[in-house]
Structure 1
Amino acid sequence: MSKETSGKAFDFKLIKRLVTYTKPYKPTYNFVVFSAILLAFLAVVRPIMVNYSVNTYMADQDEQGLLFICILMVAALFLEVGMQWSYNYFSSWLGQNLIKDIRIKLFKHMLRFRMKYYDKSSVGLLVTRAVQDMERIGEIFSNGFFEIISDLLKIVVFLGVMLYFDWRLTLIVVCIFPVILYATFLFQRAMKKAFIEVRKEVSNLNSFVQERITGIKILQIFAREEQEYKRFKEINDRHKKSWISTVWYNSIFISVIEMVSSIVVGLVVWFGGLNAVKSGDNDLGTVIMFILLINMLFRPLRQIAEKFNGLQMGMVAAGRVFGILDTESYIDDNGTKVANDIKGTIDFEKVHFGYIEGEEVLHGISFNVQQGETVAIVGATGAGKSTIINLLNRFYEIQSGAIKVDGVNITQYTLQSLRSNIAIVLQDVFLFADSILNNITLKNPDIKEAHVIQAAKDIGVHDFISSLPGGYHYNVKERGTMLSSGQRQLIAFLRAYVSNPSILILDEATSSVDSYSEKLIQQATERITENRTSIVIAHRLATIKKASKIIVMDAGEIVETGTHKELLAMENGYYRNLYEVQFMAEEKVNR
């Protein structure tokens, strides 16, 4: 099956796969199937009773018999209504439980995806798959599959009853069926194409809106509101047109069904009435029953438009969701060694890596970080500094070489235990729309509030947090927009500190913060890196001077290694030139 759609209007492989998720709800599933079958037979009871009452009790003027059969019809009606209610409720209940289970499985699956997958995927599209497409899958069970099966069974039962009572009138009805079937085939093919287009435009719309809202500041800074508004109108117009095409096909199909059903009723009344007049038989009950059954026969065909819509959209959605579930894009977690009591020694041995095949970013780099050392990595943008961070955490897999922690290849560690020993403070801090406390602990029950408060005091950020409304329970809103960039950075430092990592990685970001926040960050850096193996992507001179060792990178290679003084002593050295251009100006400003 493709990732876009199953390619079929009614894919039994998809249905079979969806049915496997009903195993935990087997009694409910069986009841829904039983109800769908029973409703097909209950639907024909009242028309038969009408036939019998007209031909027998009304013809014989039997008032008591007529009253009795009317009571039976009311009882049959209540039974049918009760079964219909039970079917509607439990089929919807089953559908909602299925999408709950599939959505949980999908989210868990996406959590394991490697960063390369997210580098190439639209966030808006993935949100559509996890939310809207899931709702469409639920409609397969609440409004699609069982409903269509029940309707098809009703058609078979209705035709069987018709054939039993009058084969000639049944022949009139059956002769019209090829027209209905052909119209249904054309409708199904057109709707399939239309709904694939609808789902594509929904994904495009979601992706566009999500990205523009996230980057609203950039749009306003560069005054691009009007241009983006015009682009949104274009995308929204395509979305509208794709939906209107489904309405167009719907309206044509329903009109055809209404016209054909009216013609069939007219033919039955004409032929049945004419035959009754000529023969003198009092068989009006059969004609009335046929009229009722014809309306009931064509009702499922009229309603199939709506049901087919739900089924089609559900099939397309299921194909897309299962396409993600079938995607094997995660880091192999085949390690058996649990990273307990990590000391923090790091070795990169001739590591080659590229984000895109054939385009290397790191060209066989090798370096060593001893336990407790603070190593600074400097270099121009694109030199490969951040790539080292990504590889150490196994966000990406290297092409060749080896990365070792405490002398053990990181692939031999379990992924969770490895990452639990490494903490990162990124340059671009991400905070969730939650309290400061939850953003620090990430809701880890082992990290108590008292421990967080003590840690905040240790690195000098307690006063800043306490000054906020609600203190540690202050909600920072989406992406931490209620805090300044410096404050977000301090929260990130505290988040790393409370996890008590063996290895700490800092991507310093103090270039855009105020002097007070910078001072707190430098204080936090000193405390958090104390007696702990640390790798710092250095942007500030203070960090570089205090580093045990400085690794200088250029174009994916290590060009120089040494202390601050050793590197400055190199004539025409890369670090010395960088220092004179970038860091010396900073040193003069800070004097």
Structure 2
Amino acid sequence: MPYALREDEKLEEKVSIDILKRLFKYLKPYKREVFIVLFFIFVVMVVDLLNPYFIKFAIDRFIKDKDSNGLILVGILMIVLNLISMISAKKRTQRMSKITHGILLNIRQDLYNHIQQLSFTFFDERPVGKILSRIISDVNSLANLFNMSITNLIPDSVTIIATLLIMFYLNSKLALYAMSMLPLLFIVLFSIQTISRKRWQVVRKKGSTLNAFTHENFSGIRVVKYFTAEKYRANIFSELAWDVRQAFVRAVRINDLFWPMVEFSWGIGTVITFYFGVKMINSGDISVGLLIAFTSYIGMFWRPIMNLSNLYNNFVIGMASAERIFEIMDIEPNIKEEEDAIDIDIKGEIEFRNVSFSYDGKRKVLDNVSFKIKPGEKVALVGHTGAGKSTIVNLLCRFYDPQEGEILIDGINIKKIKLESLRKQIAVMFQDTFLFSGTILENIKYGRLDATYDEVVETAKKVYAHDFISNMEKGYDTNINERGMRLSLGQRQIISLARTLIANPKIIILDEATASVDTYTERLLQMGIEILLKGRTSIIIAHRLSTVQNVDKIIVIENGRILEIGNHEELMKKKGIYYHMFMSQFNYWEERNSEIVS
């Protein structure tokens, strides 16, 4: 039956072939191991093909003539050959497992490395759970694809061809009877392949959504419990899990047609073969031994077809995962180094020249922003939430590139500076700091991985972290768990400060780093920050204007535009936006203090 591919199906077929080529490139480092596996497969296959012929030979020659010695010899030969086959099968499985997991390791490492190089826009658009799903679940789904492609596809295909040749050699009529159901089987297989592939793609997508929700839920479990939202979140989880189940059932339902159709074709073909085989025995055209051998060969013919149908199921699942993996690996970073990018030793001069930027390409977050910061100067960025302060930081670190204008450090456009050189010399401290699971020592060394233990201790002393660290059960080797959950918010901020100081950056950015801590910890942080800022260019994003009165320059941003620049005294005299913001906060705290006193 002719099968005409539509244009979209032709495209899908081309994509599948391209993906297969990319997948099997990962086999190249394992060529030698693959050939060894193929040798073991060949041994097992030859023994399997010889077994029915030995049985035919024994029946027609030794059993018919009652030759027990000959029968024993054939039996011993078959035992020896099958022992060799058993050992070969074991060795094949061991080596194939090594190859498969080596390939998965390489794919997972390539995927992880690639994701780490992608720009912030990639992470802005995707939940972390969906990214985890690609690295873990989708890569794991490729295991069967590689394993079965070598251990099943090649030997089963060869077995089918070899069995066909042997059957036609033994008796062409019986061979044709045995193959009579093949056309029906092929029609069914071709009819359901496209539906099956699309349904497994849906399963992977819905599973990814479930992973993303689960990751988000447990990351924010404290909020869930604070607001007693367990039932609400459980209901959402149930809906997502039900969607995954339904998608899986629909995919399996179509896949389950493969095996029954193969078994049906096998059964009908065997009945037809026996029916005509018995007639041929009665007419003297064939021997009993040949019919028995033929029965074994029919099984050897249809069993690989069943295996191949199962391989196709795994192939569909694996291809859906592979598409999702390569979809990520084909994403190019928005931020790229230019070929002539250089390493520089930053002195600390920063200049924004007519910079405009938009995250979505529609609304400008920064609009024609220009300012200059001298080396060693302490500058504050102030403005209402959403004014564009954090965007300036993101552009300076080159997490994004502006659509218009240019950003210079020491007179050099940052696009001409190597990313590693740029970011190693700029440190950012956020209000919501992030500590990794591991020890306090490891978290501080994250600022400079080659730092010694003594350097870590000396840095901790400078930011007043040494005392509380020493009082912990294992000191600097105390494990603080993910996000530093064993520490108070203030302690996390102080360790983050130590991590920043040990990096010895040339430019420091503080994003309201002391806003969420108690008065005593804030005083410690301020003393540590003074040490950190000394001799360095610093940008302070401030919401509490009382903390920036002593900076060299204040830049007032509103709706993505710079409205005022000057120090505290100058801006207060102007009685512009900064003045009103400052007085508004001042009056607020005066009223609060009055309420507390009363």
The TM tier, using the shorter chain, reads over 0.9
The aligned counterpart of 1:113 is 118
Letter in 1 for 2:277: G
Q: Which residue of 2 aligns with 1:178?
A: 183
Contact 1:342-1:406 within 8 A present in 2 as well: yes
- Deviation of 1:519 after TM superposition, in Å, equals 1.6
Of 279, 289, 292 in structure 2, the residue corresponding to residue 288 of structure 1 is 292
Cα distance in structure 1, aligned partners of 2:406 and 2:467: 44
Is 1:25–2:25 an aligned residue pair?
no
In the alignment, is residue 420 of structure 1 matched against residue 424 of structure 2? yes
Report matched runs for 1:467-546 at 5 Å.
Answer: 467-546=471-550
Are the aligned partners of 2:501 and 2:532 in contact in 1 as well (CA < 8 Å)? yes
Shift of 1:148: 2.1
3-state SS of the aligned residue for 1:312? helix
Shift of 1:506: 0.5
Kindly indicate whether residue 51 of structure 2 is the aligned counterpart of residue 46 of structure 1: yes
Q: Quote the offset at 1:114 in angstroms.
A: 0.7
1:350 deviates by 1.1
- Change beyond 3 A, Cα 1:7–1:34: farther
1:127-526 matched pairs, under 5 angstroms: 127-144=132-149, 146-279=151-284, 283-334=287-338, 336=340, 338-442=342-446, 444-526=448-530
Check conservation: 1:334, 1:412, Cα contact below 8 A: yes
CA distance in 1, matches of 2:590, 2:32: 75
Letter in 2 for 1:566: E
Partner amino acid, structure 2, of 1:314: G
Contact kept, 8 Å, 1:47 with 1:293, in 2: the verdict is yes
Change (3 A) 1:34 1:330: farther
Q: Find the residue that maps to 1:43 and give its secondary structure.
A: helix
| CA distance, structure 2, for counterparts of residue 335 and residue 349 of structure 1 | 23
| Correspondence for 2:579 | 576
Q: Distance in 1 between matches of 2:468 and 2:589?
A: 27
Q: What residue identity is the alignment partner of 1:259?
A: F
Q: Decide whether the 8 Å contact of 1:9 with 1:312 is kept in 2.
A: no
Summarize the Cα distance change of 1:124–1:6 in structure 2 as closer, same or farther, 3 Å threshold: farther
Contact 1:9 1:315 in 2 (8 A): no
> How far apart are residue 87 of structure 1 and its match?
2.3
8 Å Cα contact 1:6/1:315 also seen in 2: no
Contact 1:351-1:402 within 8 A present in 2 as well: yes
Aligned residue number for residue 571 of structure 2: 567
TM-score by length of 2: 0.93
What is the CA distance between 1:189 and its match in structure 2?
A: 3.6
Q: By how many angstroms is 1:30 displaced? A: 2.4
2:118 is paired with a residue of what secondary structure? Answer: coil
Contact map agreement 2:201 2:320 (CA 8 A) in 1 = yes
Do the aligned residues in 1 keep the contact of 2:344 with 2:417 (CA within 8 Å)?
no
**Contact 1:6/1:14 (CA < 8 Å) preserved in 2?**
no
Q: CA 1:113 to 1:9, structure 2 compared with 1: closer, same or farther past 3 Å?
A: closer
- 1:125 aligned partner: 130
| Structure 1 residue 246, shift from structure 2 partner | 3.7
Corresponding residue for residue 12 of structure 1: 17
Q: CA deviation at 1:467?
A: 2.3
Shift of 1:335: 5.9
Deviation at 1:159, TM superposition (A): 0.9
What is the rounded CA distance, in whole Å, between the counterparts of 2:530 and 2:339 in structure 1? 34
User: SS of the counterpart of 1:536?
Assistant: strand
Contact 2:353–2:406 (8 Å) recurs in 1? yes
Q: Please state whether the residue corresponding to 2:27 is helix, strand or coil.
A: helix
Please tell me whether residue 98 in structure 1 is matched to residue 98 in structure 2: no
Kindly indicate whether the alpha-carbon contact (under 8 Å) linking 1:9 and 1:189 is maintained by their aligned counterparts in 2: no
Which amino acid counterpart does residue 413 of structure 1 have in structure 2?
I
How far has the Cα of 1:542 moved from its partner?
Answer: 4.6
> 8 Å contact 2:448–2:503 — kept in the other structure?
no
CA contact (8 A) 1:55 1:282 kept: no
**Closer, same or farther in 2 for the Cα pair 1:414/1:528, shift >3 Å?**
same
Aligned-pair CA distance for 1:588: 7.7
Q: Which runs of 5+ in 2 are unaligned?
A: 1-9
SS at match of 1:510: coil
Q: State the one-letter code of the partner of 1:505.
A: I
Closer/same/farther in 2, CA of residues 409 and 443 from structure 1, 3 Å limit: closer
AA partner of residue 130 (structure 1): I
Measured against aligned partners, the alpha-carbon deviations of 1:60-115 in whole angstroms (never above 9, x if no partner) come to 21111111111111122122222222222222221111111111111111111111
Q: Is 2:379–2:538's contact at 8 Å kept on the other side of the alignment?
A: yes
User: Compared with structure 1, are the counterparts of its residues 587 and 335 closer, same or farther at alpha carbon in structure 2 (3 Å cutoff)?
Assistant: farther
CA deviation vs aligned residue, 1:396-428 (integer Å, no higher than 9, x gap):
001121211111111111110011111110122
What is aligned with 1:79? 84
1:43 CA displacement: 2.2
The whole-number CA distance in structure 2 between the counterparts of 1:398 and 1:384 is 13
Over 3 Å counting, the alpha-carbon distance change for 1:89 and 1:330 in structure 2 is farther
Pick closer, same or farther for the CA change 1:343–1:152 going to 2, 3 Å. same
Asked if the contact 2:463–2:494 (Cα under 8 Å) also holds between the matched residues in 1, the reply is: no
Q: Amino acid of the residue matched to residue 521 of structure 1? A: L
Q: Which amino acid aligns with 2:585?
A: Q
Distance in 2 between the 1:563 and 1:136 partners?
60
**8 Å contact from structure 1 (residues 372, 534) kept in 2:** yes
SS for the counterpart of 1:452 is helix
Q: Does structure 2 conserve the Cα–Cα contact (< 8 Å) formed by 1:35 and 1:87?
A: yes
Which residue is equivalent to 2:3?
Answer: none
CA distance in 1, matches of 2:179, 2:223: 65
Q: Spell out, residue by residue over 1:404-454, the C-alpha distance to the aligned partner (whole angstroms, 9 max, x if none).
A: 111111111111001111111012211111111111112844211211111
- Larger mean Cα displacement after TM superposition, 378-387 or 503-512: 503-512
Alignment partners' CA distance in 2, 1:25 and 1:386: 48
Root-mean-square deviation (CA, aligned residues, Å) is 2.2
Query: How many residues in Structure 1 have an aligned counterpart in Structure 2?
Result: 585
Residues 40 and 150 of structure 1 are in contact (CA less than 8 Å); yes or no, is this contact kept in structure 2? Answer: yes
Distance 2:153 2:479 in 1: 48
Alignment check: 8 A CA contact 2:387 2:558 kept: yes
CA drift of 1:338 comes to 4.1
Distance 1:282-1:8 versus aligned 2 partners, 3 A rule: closer
Structure 1 residues without counterparts, runs of 5 or longer: none
When residues 424 and 143 of structure 1 are mapped into structure 2, their CA distance, relative to the original with a 3 A threshold, is same
1:483 positional shift: 1.8
Inter-CA distance 337–267: structure 2 relative to 1 (3 Å threshold): closer
SS of alignment partner, residue 546 of structure 1 = coil
When residues 262 and 13 of structure 1 are mapped into structure 2, their CA distance, relative to the original with a 3 A threshold, is same
User: Residues 39 and 150 of structure 1 are in contact (CA less than 8 Å); yes or no, is this contact kept in structure 2?
Assistant: no
| Higher RCO by CA contacts (8 Å cutoff, separation 6 or greater) | 1
Q: Which moved more, 1:269-278 or 1:379-388?
A: 269-278
1:192-243 Cα shifts (integer Å, max 9, x gaps)? 2331121112111111111111122232333322222111111111111222
Q: Using the TM superposition, name which of 221-230 and 391-400 deviates more.
A: 221-230
- Quote the Cα distance in structure 2 between the aligned partners of 1:150 and 1:558: 71
TM-score when scaled to structure 1? 0.94
Aligned residue type for 1:264 = G
Report sequence identity in percent: 35
